[in-house]
């Protein structure tokens, strides 16, 4: 097991990778005590002339070594080499935040596996067993990757994340080419390569908070509190829950504190948040929400009132989705979510399930079902789509 700790050695490996058809990539990181993920280890592997398992694989240690990742980013920009990840989103966020770079072209084996019928959110270990016909040593799964030195067991565990990935990539890409579904995966990966996916805007943070209270003024306070928390967490590089948790945020929005005395009465707010910059930010956010002009208040409730789903139709769409996903051997959640089905049943037509490859597999018949042009019938264990005659 070779560990790279210098920029020169990383550049040499990346030059070799640029001559290869693909490179498999994985990271180990920590973010329990920070807002942004801290890269602790990078794993890279390329195939050899005699097959996927005969290539080279290395560990890159940004903690113990004194190196720049610029050679890696040069590799990521080289479109002659496919960059292969499994469940790439968090890995890509690290590179985008660090250097504004998103690897291209990109292949995500988790997405490909879902398209190829391996089920919902299939894990790497499952693919190693089913595709690479190997097993993983799990003993180092829960480990502190920021501590040095790394043990041989840790290194072996980390390296396995990219060595087996070579076999998995070659098998899945071959299957996609045979079935003509490679463009399906390309559509899914387009979202992963969109910079907007990794731009965490404080003004949008409130949309992640779950609340049953949809009163516009309340939501305006929630929006300002979430905006302040996100901006503070980013600036100080601390987890947002270390500033205050969602339940405390909702308590603040409900009680509308106007001074430090009001803050001291809150039950869920951490002691550290009742003074200093955080306390000042909370009070300013509450005031901004209370003084928000009427026309700028968030009103998500109005959209929901206009688009109440037909429960019976939503149930029929669920049956259709199950039938279509089984028929196509594609994970149903990749085609449409429960929220998508409810939206379609409520009359929405700007739903992802109604465009692209999803329309071919499910969306076209879903629309016909909504229009009363087809019905569903059970025949044995199968559900069939039955054409309805005019009149």
**What is the tens place of the pLDDT at every residue in 143-184?**
899 999 999 999 999 999 999 999 999 999 999 999 999 999
Q: How buried is 229 (Cβ within 10 angstroms: 0-12 exposed, 13-18 middle, 19+ buried)?
A: buried
Pairwise pLDDT comparison (299 vs 240), residue with the higher score: 240
Closest Cα to residue 282, out of 301, 300, 256? Answer: 256
Closest Cα to residue 206, out of 198, 197, 216? Answer: 216
Q: Long-range CB contacts (< 8 A, 24+ apart) of 260-263?
A: none
pLDDT tens-digit series, residues 241-267: 999 999 999 999 999 999 999 999 999
Residue 230 has what pLDDT?
A: 98
Region 4-10 average pLDDT: 97
**386 token code pair:** 């039955």
Query: What single-letter DSSP state applies at residue 388?
Result: P
Is residue 58 classed as helix, strand or coil in its secondary structure?
strand
Are the C-beta atoms of residues 106 and 192 closer than 8 Å to each other?
yes
Q: For residue 128, what are the contacts with CB-CB under 8 A and spacing of at least 6?
A: 134, 135, 136, 160, 164, 168
Q: At what angle do helices 311-328 and 338-345 cross, to 10 degrees?
A: 130
Residue 54 has what pLDDT?
A: 65
Q: What is the mean pLDDT of the chain?
A: 93
pLDDT tens-digit series, residues 199-213: 999 999 999 999 999
Residue 303 has what pLDDT?
A: 43
Backbone region of residue 295 per phi and psi (left: phi > 0; alpha: psi in -120 to 50; beta: other values): alpha
Give the pTM. 0.88
Q: What band does 308 get if pLDDT is binned at 50, 70 and 90?
A: confident
Is the model's pLDDT at 53 over the cut of 70?
no
Cα-based angle 317, 318, 324 (whole degrees, multiple of 5): 85
Rg (C-alpha) for the chain, rounded Å, is 25
Residue 390 has what pLDDT?
A: 55
Q: Which domains does the chain have, with CATH numbers?
A: 2-197 (3.30.420.10), 202-296 (1.10.150.80), 311-387 (1.10.150)
């Amino acid at each position: 097991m070779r560990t790279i700790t210098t920029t020169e050695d990383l550049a040499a490996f990346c030059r070799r990778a640029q001559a290869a058809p693909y490179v498999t990539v994985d990271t180990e990181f920590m973010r329990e005590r920070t807002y942004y993920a801290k890269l602790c280890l990078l794993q890279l592997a390329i195939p050899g002339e005699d097959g996927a398992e005969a290539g080279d694989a290395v560990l890159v240690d940004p903690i113990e070594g004194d190196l720049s990742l610029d050679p890696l980013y040069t590799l990521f920009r080289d479109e002659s080499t496919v960059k292969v990840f499994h469940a790439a989103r968090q890995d890509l966020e690290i590179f985008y935040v660090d250097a504004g770079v998103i690897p291209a072209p990109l292949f995500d084996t988790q997405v490909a596996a879902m398209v190829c019928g391996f089920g919902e959110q299939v894990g790497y270990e499952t693919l190693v067993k089913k595709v690479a016909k190997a097993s993983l040593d799990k003993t180092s799964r829960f480990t502190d990757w920021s501590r040095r030195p790394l043990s041989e067991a840790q290194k072996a565990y980390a390296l396995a994340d990219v060595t087996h990935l070579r076999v998995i990539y070659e098998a899945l890409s071959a299957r996609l080419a045979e079935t003509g579904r490679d463009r399906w995966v390309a559509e899914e990966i387009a979202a992963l390569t969109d910079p907007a996916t990794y731009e965490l805007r404080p003004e949008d943070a409130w949309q992640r908070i779950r609340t049953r209270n949809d009163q516009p003024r309340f939501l305006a306070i929630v929006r300002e509190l979430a905006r302040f928390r996100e901006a503070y967490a980013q600036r100080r590089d601390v987890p947002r829950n270390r500033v205050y948790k969602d339940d405390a945020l909702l308590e603040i929005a409900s009680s509308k504190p106007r001074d430090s005395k009001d803050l001291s009465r809150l039950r869920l707010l951490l002691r550290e948040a009742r003074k200093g910059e955080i306390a000042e930010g909370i009070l300013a956010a509450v005031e901004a929400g209370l003084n928000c002009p009427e026309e700028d208040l968030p009103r998500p409730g109005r959209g929901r009132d206009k688009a109440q789903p037909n429960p019976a139709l939503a149930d029929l769409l669920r049956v259709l989705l199950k039938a279509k996903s089984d028929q196509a051997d594609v994970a149903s959640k990749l085609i449409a979510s429960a929220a998508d089905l409810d939206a379609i049943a409520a009359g929405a037509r700007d739903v992802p399930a109604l465009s692209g490859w999803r329309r071919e597999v499910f969306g076209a018949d879903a629309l016909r079902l909504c229009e009363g042009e087809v019905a569903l019938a059970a025949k044995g264990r199968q559900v069939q789509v039955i054409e309805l005659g005019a009149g």
